[in-house]
Structure 1
Amino acid sequence: MGIFGSGLEIKKPDQVAVMRRAGVIVGETLELLRASVRAGMTTADLDTIAEAHIRSRGAVPNFKGYHGFPATICTSVNDEVVHGIPGDRVIAEGDLVSIDCGCVLDGWHSDAAITVAVGEVPESRRELLRVCEESLWRGIAAARLGGRVGDIGHGVESYVRSQPGGETYGIVEDFVGHGIGSAMHMPPNVPNFGPRGRGPRLVKGLVLAVEPMITEGTIETTTLEDDWTVVTDDGGWAAHFEHTFTLTDAGAWVLTALDGGRARLAELGVPYGGPAEG
């Protein structure tokens, strides 16, 4: 591990390999939660499932206790954008439930998020989820060794705006992606908007968490009295997707995708940069 440029942590291959192991645990946890979430359960029920799985795999939840956060996952429902605290809220038919999850394994962190539609959801909101998730992959696909961090945000924003009705979506600016490694949040910030060609260079060993947050309207948000839960000011609903990824000489490697991102990257014409797995 070394420090590159403006305090960026550059990992050695064996350190990235541990981050991949942590990423698989997070990916497994999110898929377990996707399969588990249903109307009638509470967000605390999801948190219990997540913590049990992470610990069963030999890792530790990295959200729990982070600046006092009391839970293993963040559960943000409907107009809650990020950082919702699991509790006694009962999930209802038609809800959008964003689940943000992370763990630390042997000192190395991973972080990812999904948003799940519960039961019957209007097509416009399913489209919100589709656009948000696809914009995440378009951001990753825009990353190349020697490029700039700003290329990722440009990829996210360009995709969102290119979609039917894309100009009406809000791309949240107050909360962005980040570097990750020996700490959960590290430089550089990874915005989901802006021009390409700006920001730090994308180099081998730099690991980033990309996490677009897209709303039905405004980008303006407020943090509730619990000091964590962030909601849209206009009551519009939101979606949030996230992956942790890195770049190798071969291409992109999505550390929190169970297949390393191979399938989605291939669809986008992006070389897969991870080892043969499975």
Structure 2
Amino acid sequence: MKTILITGCSSGIGYYCAKQLQKRGYQVIASCRNVDDVRALNEQGITCVQLDYTDTDSIEQGLADALAFSGGKLDALFNNGAYGQPGAVEDLPVAALRRQFETNVFGWHHLTQLVCKKMRQQGHGRIIQNSSVLGLVTLPYRGAYNASKFALEGLTDTLRLELQGSGVYISLIEPGPISSRFRDNALHAFLTSGIDIEKSAHRDNYLAQQRRLESTSGPQPFTLGPEAVYKRLVHALESQRPQARYYVTTPTYLFGFLKRILPSSWLDWVLTKSR
């Protein structure tokens, strides 16, 4: 039985993948930041540990708890827990940017380091990073999230080169819009960011974004369910030759292609219209 640790399992992609991989025969150890979510998953029969990316001690204890459940081995890690911090770059408080990187980059990096050490000792393992189309291109008012995913892409590409010959493989999954609680979490991050909306040159755009995030209307165009990510995750876990990158959703394929062929000024126009 293969063992996998999945982070960010309270909802969305992490929750779906944890359930499906358990059905597939994996020993799944899920993780959540909130104690109530940990308890809820355990009650559903999914082994879950507490792991908060912003807390070094929590990361180390969460991994130790996961290894205790798995008998000391770990075949795979799916780094998934993240959130998006909205806001124009010129308005973004340093504290808000720092919180974004603590969750989306530094916490992932620390957990990945610890897991790499374990997998090198085993002589095998898979690490899958759930990135984003916004690790390939940028959209306005998503500077913090863009930057965190660009950083993740750079770290992961470098690590892939450094892991060659170790038996440990690392892949990136790059989804566009996926059905989840991402908008709810982004709205909370925006409202607690410390940005003074009324004094900002971007006031009108902020109010429009807030209305969009608060909207209860259906998902945005091209949105897929978490099963689209799960399909790529299974390939990254089980293929003899896992890919370096897995595109998910039409926007990822489209923007990945446009970035390769368009001059920057043309791509900027497209991205501005896509926000």
TM-score of the two chains, using structure 2 as the length reference: 0.29
Higher helix share: 2
Which structure's CA Rg is the greater one? Answer: 2
TM-score of the two chains, using structure 1 as the length reference: 0.28
